[in-house]
Each structure stands twice: as structure tokens, then as C-alpha cells.
Amino acid sequence: MSPQTETKASVGFKAGVKDYKLTYYTPDYVTKDTDILAAFRVTPQPGVPPEEAGAAVPAESST
């Protein structure tokens, strides 16, 4: 018989959905000469803040 181990779900990871803007929206970012810039036109769905809709683009493309 193999030994049993106990796993705690709350250790190291919390499930849930965070706002994209918490990690992908940096309004005070200063561009560098080495940055590659791209432009996207984003139209938020009703009830979605523009910052959240805009931050969803890099969030989804980085995974």
C-alpha cells in the first residue's frame, strides 16, 4: 500500500478570475527604443470598462 498524502487546495494558488487590468494595464508605462508597438481597435461589450477590454488583448494573446 502506498502512503497517502494530504493536499491543500488553498496553498500557493487561489482560484478565481482577476480583472485583466490588474496585470496588463499600465497607463504610466514609458516606451523604450526596443519596444515593438502594435495598434488594436477594441470595442467593449456593454457594461465592460474600456480599460478592461483593452487589457484583455495582451492577456489573451500572451497565453
Predicted confidence at residue 13, as pLDDT, reads 52
Does 52 map to a domain?
Answer: yes
Smallest CA-to-CA distance from 57 within 29, 24, 10, 27 is with: 24
Predicted confidence at residue 30, as pLDDT, reads 92
How is residue 10 written as a grid cell? 488553498
Predicted confidence at residue 12, as pLDDT, reads 59
Structural domain that includes position 43: 21-61
Does 14 map to a domain?
Answer: no
Q: Is pLDDT larger for residue 22 or for residue 1?
A: 22
State the total domains in the chain: 1
Does 43 map to a domain?
Answer: yes
Q: For residues 59 and 24, give the distance between their C-alpha atoms in angstroms, rounded to a whole number.
A: 6
- In order of 42, 47, 59, 62, the CA distances from 50 in angstroms are 8, 9, 14, 19
Does 36 map to a domain?
Answer: yes
What are the pLDDT digits (tens) for 7-63? 555 555 555 556 766 776 778 889 999 999 888 888 999 998 888 888 888 777 665
Does 11 map to a domain?
Answer: no
Predicted confidence at residue 53, as pLDDT, reads 85
Predicted confidence at residue 10, as pLDDT, reads 55
